[in-house]
Structure 1
């Protein structure tokens, strides 16, 4: 790999140097601190994303690159650093947070001018680790490595994963926070993004009343990541906030399209660019449930449940608006944009559902149709992904009993077959109002309904296999997730087996996951 071209885009500004002393502390007036990865004596490569490496300008992997992938023996041109940010966690102000187990190597620019930040996760403590060790375990690293790539190939804005390595160390974690800590294998991933800037970076500077630094950060972000913004003065920051709102709403709609539940939508986990970031206790939707949360820490309130993600994104944008107010200085503008956010979100959401159903446009009455469909999905506990794949070929004459057996998570009942039959009749009445051909409608459905999703039980099985030193399932899942709209492995296109219903790390996860 060509790591000599890695640069530090803003490392000359507002640094704190804690390279040799990562003890947790407050770092007022500081956006980042230089810090070196801890280093590992016996690392081993599990997976490397060759196509991503070529795309971003790092080139092919060589054996000597293993040291860089775990943060060992860094070249002199790299001054690695961790960033400080703040945030609201589960609705409460948490004060200063920061990259607790993430360390940035810097930025690389490929031949076409594309900029990509490169970051280790699990490579040791930083000043923002909050008394933790900055390490990561294998299970959480596998989950992030695979899921970020799965989201990318689904067409959803996201961070991406370059590599997955064992560190050779053991890490102690209490997986479910129930007083049962255990030793687990340690791991490091390298993840990439155009930028890892979060809502929380702006919240920190605003809370500290560091308004000059806040403005410098906003200017840096706009100049580097929002080239479409050409306005000046206060209007520039208004345009910036409006773009962030739009990108965030679009991301939420994409999550709903594929049935992704983030699990911990704190403001410090919200990308300023509208990327999916920080893959912890996430889940792809199995049985459809608006109240589903995969995060044990989110119980019993279910703040971050599947059906609340649009609402929470708006709440998080209110917090960003408060942080940017010293630059925008227009309360009415912010209120108007936030109050109309829901209109934009729901219009985009319903248009997305139209495509999933094969409707070429949104019609009067579709809102009621979608509401009735949601009720059916929840009542019959239908698998979200499998339902839409069945819908591509369903008809009044289809064997609905067989279909229900394959996509429902509750015992088969005659009355439920009748309910599905009634819905199919209503669906075809609505489908007949299309102004495109049936073939074009089918193509629309296939483009918007994935065949393969990375279910938690598949990840669970993959992690267990990697623990034994095998990578066959890892390789199969990698192939499948790179082709999510095709059926590469039919065995992956089935509902979650019942024996995984109550398995920790499968049906429910913690923030440690």
Structure 2
């Protein structure tokens, strides 16, 4: 209880509990006593960030997105997208018939003994075997990533085989695959939700590419699992297309993320109530093949720790698996997992193995780095529950996300989040720290971490966040050293005038000392918009003069500065109003626009005339139907 309550007092971005929506409620499921955190306050404070972000204020957003459902016809798109790590371009890949599987997750960890695909509690296991459910229709490929195909060692010619759509819609088996669904729990909107699990995601297994890298393949929307609760295990095209686009766009932006191999239309209709208002409509179904180094989540550790008893041992087993497979440097030179080699404490009892502390600190640091990337590109996840947090620090589970257009620190794209705005843009760092705290708490309950270690984990997040944030904002401003005052003044202007987040940051590289301009450059003026009142133009001009003076006073060549800024401030990001149009086009059978959009998003830091229309914010008259989304998918 003490730990949960302390989270509400973390003052990142000058927020209080009411701002973040962190609810101070009894956590009855995880109510075992924990060592009290040392004073003053468990989470500490990122004081330098408070100074430069103290001007954030609470604002409001608009209303929901209208539905538009034309019919879907057959079409195929093949796209090339950027990658998060090099993929062998010149090596001929394998066929669908002989992909190399090495299913380490299922080999290392216990499976559910029952093989019943019906709603139930899955205990003493980390996953359950389950096959995709065919739709008995004719699926067809809408998009496929050549770069992701290379990452998993798949020959590009396989993307065009008729069997490709059948396999990656769940209508046909993939040779060598052993499908399963993961079991995990989580905190949802601050409350412990118990067992959750993969309700409509089915892992096919882990494939190994020619470089020896492992990648897990997962079908989202391929049918029911024991974790589907009252849902049908399916996914609609609109949400599937958005997930595919976001996965590949985020990779190109340099943000840690899961990837997407394919987007396949199933040919089957699905009934959904998009805004939970009783307006149920039939929508076209689709399946995304998600690809990741691991789909283990914070909630994978939380569920067995909450259940207690013999299931506490699963926390150690999953941790040992993740460390062995993804953090091998934490095991020492031989890579072997210890059985518990903690040194004896003063009372003679064995203290926790220090590798778990090192592991959690690195998870915290990776998570902090990813949150800063979100802030850098204006990304708002929308549903930062602990079951949507990757143990590798990747962005995972793209639901009602958005890339912010009009600058609003309090913006949340999720209609479900509107009452408390728990997952708003400015709240994401504090919420992710809360999630790290809940992960650490699971290790405390399992006896793998003590109170002091938990404090260290949380502190690691704070330190990593502060350092990464300062460095990212320094680069966005084109500075050799971060200037909190300059940044804070810019935030105050952006909060008041609400310019487009992406375009404003991108335009800053056009400002330079000795550019002959006393006020705004044409690029910055265009980004701010023509409706800016004269007194506001003067305020921005005054800041630009201060900015020029700071730039003039640093020893950094102009070309190097501009290159730094243009590599930190994207020119192109996915915009909701563009995707709404593309979804309508794809549903009517036209995929040419989607293909062109994906090609452009693969080069987000390049300026080009071709995609200039995609850089424009949503017109004022349609904002209210664009800025908000629901979890319906």
* Same topology, TM > 0.5: yes
* Corresponding residue for residue 237 of structure 2: 138
Please report how far the alpha carbon of residue 368 of structure 1 lies from its aligned counterpart in structure 2 after TM superposition: 2.4
Q: How much has 1:468 moved relative to structure 2?
A: 0.5
Q: 2:621 aligns with which of 494, 499, 512?
A: 499
Q: Confirm whether residue 260 of structure 1 aligns to residue 379 of structure 2.
A: yes
Aligned match for 1:313, one of 417, 429, 432: 432
Q: CA deviation at 1:361?
A: 1.9
What do the CA deviations read for 1:421-460 (whole angstroms, capped 9, x no partner)?
Answer: 0110111122223221111111110111111111111111
Q: Give the TM-score taking structure 1 as reference length.
A: 0.95
Alpha-carbon distance between aligned partners in 2 of 1:372 and 1:307, rounded to the nearest angstrom: 17
Please say which of residues 440-449 and 224-233 is displaced more in the overlay.
Answer: 224-233
| Equivalent-residue separation in structure 2 for 1:176 and 1:204 (angstroms) | 30
In structure 2, how many angstroms separate the alpha carbons of the residues matched to 1:153 and 1:450? Answer: 10
What does residue range 43-82 of structure 1 map to in structure 2 within 5 Å? 43-60=139-156, 61=159, 62-75=161-174, 77-82=176-181
CA distance in 2, matches of 1:509, 1:383: 19
* Deviations 1:314-361 (CA, angstroms, capped at 9, x unpaired): 000110010111243321121133135323312211211010010012
CA change 1:288–1:221 in 2 (3 A) is same
1:376 is the counterpart of 2:470: no
Residue 403 of structure 1 and its aligned partner are, at CA, apart by 5.3
Which residue of the partner structure matches residue 2 of structure 1? Answer: 96
In structure 1, the residue corresponding to 2:294 is in which secondary structure?
coil
1:229, distance to aligned residue in structure 2 (A): 1.1
Name whichever of 265-274 and 452-461 sits farther off. 452-461
- Between structure 1 and structure 2, the one with the greater Rg is 2
2:604 to 455, 459, 484: 484
Residue 159 (str. 1) matches residue 255 (str. 2): no
Q: Do the aligned residues in 2 keep the contact of 1:37 with 1:71 (CA within 8 Å)?
A: yes
Report SS of the residue matched to 1:237. helix
Contact 2:411–2:425, Cα closer than 8 Å, also in 1: yes
Match of residue 475, structure 2, among 348, 351, 355: 355
Match of 1:22 in 2: 117
Match of 1:346 in 2: 466
Q: Which has the higher contact order (CA 8 A, sep 6+)?
A: 2
Q: How far apart, in 2, do the equivalents of 1:138 and 1:510 lie?
A: 14
Q: Distance in 1 between matches of 2:460 and 2:314?
A: 30
| Counterpart-to-counterpart distance in 2, 1:500 and 1:6 | 47
Q: 1:28 to 1:120 in 2, by over 3 A?
A: same
- Deviation string 1:42-99 (CA, Å, 9 cap, x unpaired) is 2111111122112211222222222211112315632210001000000000001000
Instruction: Check 1:312–1:396 CA distance in 2 against 1; reply closer, same or farther (3 A cut).
Output: farther
Question: In 2, are the aligned partners of 1:287 and 1:408 still within 8 Å (CA)?
Answer: no
Paired residues for 1:414-493 under 5 Å? 414-488=534-608, 489-493=611-615
The alpha-carbon distance between structure 1 residues 396 and 349, as it changes in their structure 2 partners (threshold 3 A), is farther
Distance 1:84 1:172 in 2: 26
- Answer whether contact 1:406 1:494 (CA < 8 A) is retained: no
Counterpart of 2:293 (choices 194, 198, 212) is 194
Residue aligning to 1:249: 368
Q: How many correspondences in the alignment?
A: 507
CA distance in 1, matches of 2:114, 2:146: 33
Cα separation, 1, equivalents of 2:140 and 2:518: 51
Shift of 1:399: 6.7
Structure 2 equivalent of residue 281 of structure 1: 400
Q: Distance in 1 between matches of 2:529 and 2:182?
A: 44
Could you tell me whether the CA contact under 8 Å between 1:404 and 1:412 is conserved in 2? no
- State the alpha-carbon separation in 1 of the partners of residues 406 and 241 from structure 2: 24
Identify the residue that residue 328 of structure 2 maps to in structure 1.
227
Alignment partners' CA distance in 2, 1:352 and 1:278:
24
Larger deviation, residues 479-488 vs 410-419: 410-419
Equivalent residues of 2:440, 2:457 under 8 A apart: no
Q: Specify which of 325, 328, 331 is matched with residue 448 of structure 2.
A: 328
CA distance in 1, matches of 2:518, 2:246: 34
Q: Note if contact 2:518-2:545 (Cα within 8 Å) is conserved in structure 1.
A: no
Give the counterpart of 2:274 among 153, 156, 175. Answer: 175
Q: 1:24, 1:126 within 8 Å by CA — same for their partners in 2?
A: yes
Contact 1:407 1:495 in 2 (8 A): no
Measured after TM superposition, the shift of residue 220 of structure 1 is: 0.5
Report the Cα distance in structure 1 between the residues aligned to 2:120 and 2:591, rounded to whole angstroms: 40
Can you give the 5+ residue segments of structure 1 that lack an aligned partner in the other structure? none
- Write the distance in 1 (CA, Å) between the matches of 2:168 and 2:209: 19
Q: Within 2, Cα distance between the matches of 1:149 and 1:398?
A: 40
Q: Which runs of 5+ in 2 are unaligned?
A: 1-94, 333-337, 342-352
Q: Secondary structure of the residue that 2:315 maps to in structure 1?
A: helix
Inter-partner Cα distance in structure 2 for 1:79 and 1:193: 17
| Cα distance between partner residues in 2 of 1:358 and 1:254 | 16
Tell me how far 1:179 sits from its aligned partner.
1.6
